[in-house]
Chains A and B, each alone.
Chain A
Amino acid sequence: MTIDGTSAHVSVEGLRIEVPGADGRSIVIVDDVSFAIPRGEVLALIGESGSGKTTIALSLMGYCRPGARIAAGRVRVGEEEITRLDGERLRALRGRRIAYVAQNAGASFNPSRKLMDQVVEPALSHGLLTREAAEAKAVDLFRGLGLPEPETIGWRYPHQLSGGQLQRLMAAMALLTGPELVILDEPTTALDVTTQIGVLQAFRDTVRKLGTTAVYVSHDLAVVAQMADRVVVLNGGRIREAGAVREIVDTPRDDYTRTLMAAARPAERSDSSKRETPVPLLRVDSVWAGYGGVDRTGQPNIPVLRDISLTLQRGEMLGVIGESGSGKSTLARVIAGLLPASRGEVRLDGGPLPPGLRGRTKEMFGRIQMVFQNADTALNPAHSIRDILARPLAFFHGVTGRAADAEIAKLLDQIRLPKTILSRRAPELSGGQKQRVNLARALAARPDVILCDEVTSALDTIVGAAIIDLLAELRRDLGLAMMFISHDISTVRSICDEIMVLYLGDVAHQGPRAAFETAPWHPYTDLLIRSVPEMRIGWLDDAGGADSLPPVAARSSADLCRFLDRCACRQAGLCDTHFPIRRTLPAGDTVLCHLDALRLGEAAEDYSTA
């Protein structure tokens, strides 16, 4: 199926973009890219980082990153030949007829100015609307995008809103001038799945209603399947496959597209290397922890974790899952000793660990290793990769010189990186390579337990899937116990033996993987599972969830279930008066909920048929 390039609203023909290389010759980063978008349709550009998808999207505004230039081809939007316009004419176009929504709205807003001032800015600077008219239109858009309190939300500052809300405000800013083309650059990648679903629905409904042509940049094929009419699959700056979304999702012809699809659906792994011993390798007993000062009873002012218990056997992989702010990383920090627990204790091989760093022996430090989420900041930019890997060897095991070189070579083998990277520094590596080095540094300590804090969250689907394969392999080969912290329940369900669901510091649901395959489960687990986009067109229409529940007026001042406000199956007179009990379900999992297995099962049933 092809579209006539001249009748389409947006057309790109033979686009080539180059950047100057180190040796003076130019490097082609986008080559021979052509596509067309009919008016009012949504085109998705999909690929991993480095595929040129953002570069192409930006070229639609006639913009290239510093150094890059459009070497050949033409870009046309409506009547305008973008590639032939000068700076002045492009400025008149940008933000007015072509608008851009960036990936990280949190970083894109100026923290010292009220949101309304920033949202109306493009309309005012192009002289399209008066201040009053712009504000009125902005409030309409806020309402359309499902923002709470649309009349007053604009008078707040960025830090007072959540990431999902900021992303919607950013879309409102882009749409305010009534652009004919909107470019959405990975607008939901930084969001939790439960937040993403609402933002996606709001974006799609608004774009549809206004009849705007849109370009949606993403690395997630499942999200694209919900948003786009047509898809262009990119790899290494070239088009691998292009067509209607249904063709791409149902009958992908290109190998690369199939790889993308496979990476999005993590394969089930049944090979558990768990070895049970009477005394578990790691045991966390009723741990409470938080930040801020400590009150008279010894509890922190900002409590984060409440009464967390878990055990980790040798070779076991425990998945810890929850949204941002659920306390997953805090739990890892407590075990690593970076944040002393205010109550409860952590035991390693039956022996209690001192709560903080002080008092822990070198052996204890070496046996528990934490891998931080963001490899960009977890590797010291001033050190070479060799220094980074050699330090734990020397520090924990006194291995230096030739023996250390041999062990580093072995580590590189395990993480599949070439020896040539040893002399480089972390900023010179790609995201996936950095995460591998991050992992290798933990392995260099020869640990028993590895705490992996969202190690794949900052990575592309394909790169992330490779890291997960690597983790599973290391666990099998080295018999390591791992705590795998993630916000992605589909990954956790595919690789972990045990799963723990945290909600605002409470263990909402905990049990073996099998219990997470079918209902009954905790209402929050249900929400998490339903929020993961499926590779199925029309999933977003079927998925409810975006409609917010009315807030609950607590009937007693007692501690209540923290999920109450968002729970679809809460029971008046029970959930709003008493703290829930921990009950065991038939599959051996425990939930923190008033409802029993039967009613939880019914609730999940209701949703899937609704």
Chain B
Amino acid sequence: MIAARPLRWVGRLRPSGKVGLALVLLWALVALLGPLFAPYSIGAFIDQSVFSRPSAQMPLGSDYLGRDVLSRLLSGARYTVGLGAGATIIACTIGTSLALTSAVGRRVFDEAMSRFMDAFTSIPSKILALVMVAAFGSSLGLLLLVTALTYVPGNYRIARSLAVNLNQMDFVQVARARGEPIAYIAVREILPNMIHPLLADLGLRFVFIVLLLSALSFLGLGVQPPNADLGSLVRENMSGIAEGAPAVLVPALAIASLTIGVNLLIDALKGKAGA
């Protein structure tokens, strides 16, 4: 019975949603198990020639230092997927919780929090990341924190405007007139009604965070060598673009398929609720 339920949910998705779900599952698997299947170690120099064409030995060719692109891709995906998903979830959890508190709580808190978020938005994200990395040194934990914090204000803004509108609805007034505590109103009455727009926002934030991670890697502030996230793979193989080397195209395609997959899935979930 219970096992059948998720399958029925999948069956109801529209085709684009199924494609999205397949892509997301694929990347989740790669992130989890990728390194186990990687033919070579991530930092191993395999080939004398750089940007070589695909061969039986190296299905995706070699990169700018003659390392195996497939191995680097399989090992690097976990940084992008893990950091991206982790930071997105942290950003949206913090942003949405604060937004709900602002909407149902006291005016003073709302005013203070909204102005603080406005101020926070005005700090350029890359400069902030630069300062943080300069101060504390690059680590995965710090990257997670910096990328998450950067996207809290955006999520807060959207979640707050949704929650403030819902807070005016009659069913919330009914709950208030019943004397419900504000935590119940926020979590049980308001949150379920904003989950779908928030999911769309989550998909968008995920894309932004993957891009920010790539940008940080580009500046050399991201995941440190010999490890590399998908963004760093693109950046370090930039010089192969003129030759159309798989070393630069495949990671770029990987980022695209991941972000498109996430958004297709989320859009399909939204459509299901609307029907």
Report which A residues bind B (CB closer than 8 A). Answer: 336-338, 357, 360, 362, 364-366, 369-370, 372, 374, 377-383, 392, 395-396, 441, 445
Q: Which residues of A contact B177 (CB under 8 A)?
A: 336-338, 357, 365, 369-370
Tell whether, in the assembled complex, residue A378 and residue B179 are in contact, meaning their CB atoms are under 8 Å apart: no
Quick one: which of B173, B176, B179 has the most chain A CB within 10 A? B179
Closest to B179 in A: A365
Docked complex Cα distance between A396 and B188 (Å): 17
Give A364 to B178 CA distance when docked, in angstroms: 9
How distant is the Cα of A362 from the Cα of B184 in the complex, in angstroms?
15
Whole-angstrom distance between the Cβ of B50 and the nearest chain A Cβ: 56
Partner of B193, one of A336, A366, A381, A441: A381
**Interface assignment of B226: CB less than 8 Å from any CB of chain A:** no
Q: Smallest CB-CB separation from A362: which chain B residue?
A: B179
Contact B192 A383 (CB under 8 A): yes
How near does chain B come to A2, taking the closest CB pair, in angstroms?
Answer: 45
Select one of B178, B188, B192 contacting A445, CB under 8 A.
B178
Q: B170 contacts A378, CB within 8 Å? A: yes
On whether A338 and B173 interact (CB within 8 A), knowing A357-B179, A362-B179, A395-B178, the answer reads yes
CB neighbours of B128 from chain A (8 A): none
Q: By CB atoms of chain A within 10 A, which of B169, B174, B179, B189 has the most?
A: B174
Are A377 and B169 touching (Cβ within 8 A)?
yes
B-side interface residues, number (CB < 8 Å): 14
Chain B neighbourhood of A441, CB < 8 A: 174
With both chains docked as a complex, state the minimum distance between the C-beta of A64 and any C-beta of chain B, in angstroms. Answer: 20
A441 to B173, CA, bound (A): 14
Complex interface: chain B residues within 8 A of A396 (CB)? 178
Which of these, B174, B176, B180, contacts A378 with CB under 8 Å? Answer: B174
Q: Is B171 on the interface with A (CB-CB < 8 A)? A: yes
B189 / chain A contacts, CB cutoff of 8 Å: 380
Cα separation A445 to B174 with both chains bound (whole Å): 12
Please indicate the chain B residues that have their CB under 8 angstroms from the CB of A357 in the complex.
176-177, 179
When the two chains form their complex, are residues B179 and A360 in contact, meaning their CB atoms are under 8 A apart? yes
From B170, B178, B188, B193, contact of A374 by CB (8 A)? B170
* A340 vs chain B, min Cβ distance (A): 13
Chain B nearest CB, measured from A111 CB (Å)? 17
How far, in whole Å, are A369 and B192 apart by their CA atoms in the complex? 24
Q: CA A419 – CA B189 in complex, angstroms? A: 23
B179 & A372 in contact (Cβ 8 Å cutoff): no
CA distance A282 to B90 in the complex (A): 50
Contact residues in B for A392 (Cβ distance below 8 Å): 178
CA distance A380 to B172 in the complex (A): 8
- B171 with A379: CB separation less than 8 A: yes
| Residue of chain A at shortest CB distance from B196 | A382
B residues in contact with A381, CB < 8 Å: 193
Given contacts A380-B189, A380-B193, A382-B192, contact A372 B178 (CB under 8 A): no
User: Which 6 residue pairs are nearest across A and B when measured between Cβ atoms?
Assistant: A382-B192, A365-B179, A378-B170, A377-B170, A380-B171, A336-B177
> Given that A380-B192, A383-B192 are contacting pairs, would A338 and B176 also be in contact in the complex, using a CB cutoff of 8 Å?
yes
CA distance A247 to B271 in the complex (A): 50
Query: Which residue on chain B has the smallest CB distance to residue A371?
Result: B174
In the complex, chain B residues whose CB is within 8 Å of the CB of A365: 177-179
CB pairs A–B below 8 angstroms (13 shown): A337-B177, A357-B179, A360-B179, A369-B177, A369-B178, A372-B170, A378-B173, A379-B171, A380-B192, A381-B193, A382-B192, A395-B178, A441-B174
With a CB–CB cut-off of 8 A, which chain A residues contact B169?
377
CA distance A366 to B180 in the complex (A): 11
From A336, which residue of chain B is reached at the shortest CB distance?
B177
- Across the interface, which residues of B come within 8 angstroms of A337, CB to CB? 177
